[in-house]
Structure 1
Amino acid sequence: LFTDIAGAAFARAGLPAGLADELSGAYEAFVAYIAAAAAFDPAVSWAGATALATPAADPHARYARRLIPVDAAHDDILRSPLTADVLTGLLARSRPQG
C-alpha cells in the first residue's frame, strides 16, 4: 500500500520512480524491523547485558543487568572519547591475565 501511494505521489511531483522505490524499500524495512522487535521481551534479552548509557537513555537502559553511565550527549555516545575510554577499561579488565 505504501509503495503504491509513494509511487503515485512521486510521479505527481515529477520525481524519479527509482527514488520512490528506494524510499518505499527503506520504509518497509524499518516497519518490518519494528514489527519483529515487538515480538521480543527486552527484559529477557538484556538480563545479562552490560550497557553503556547516557542519562538520556533512561528508562530504556533499565533492562540491563549492569548499567555504566557515560557522561556524554546521547546523540554523541558512539563517537565520544569518553565512551571509548570506558569500553577500553572494561575490555582490559575482562582480558585474561597470563
Structure 2
Amino acid sequence: MLAALALLALVLYRARRSDPFTPRTVAGLRLIGAVLLAGMIGALLEGAAELVLDRTVDSARTAGGFEVAIGWPLAGLGCFVVAEILARGTRMRDDLATVI
C-alpha cells in the first residue's frame, strides 16, 4: 500500500507540474494498478503463511484462514480505467494538434 501511495504522490506531482495528458502519467497509473494487483497476491500469500504457522502451533485445529481481499483488485482496476481514459485524452489531444 505504501508503494502505491508513493507512486500516486509522484504521478500527481508530475501531473500538477506539467500536463496531465502525457504518456508518462498513463504509465504511472498503470504501474500503480499493477502494484495494487500485486497487493492482492501479497494478501493471498499472507493467508497461506498464516495457515502454515497455525499448523505449527496446533495441528489438531485450524484458526487461521484466507480473507477475501476485494479492495486490492478493485483499486487496481480503477487505476487501469483512469489510465485508459487519460490515454484516450492524450490521443485525442495529439489528433487535435495535427488538425490545427
TM-score, scaled to structure 1:
0.30
Greater fraction strand: 1
Greater fraction helix: 2
Larger radius of gyration: 1
- Structure with more contact order per residue of length (Cα contacts < 8 Å, sep ≥ 6): 2
TM-score, scaled to structure 2:
0.29
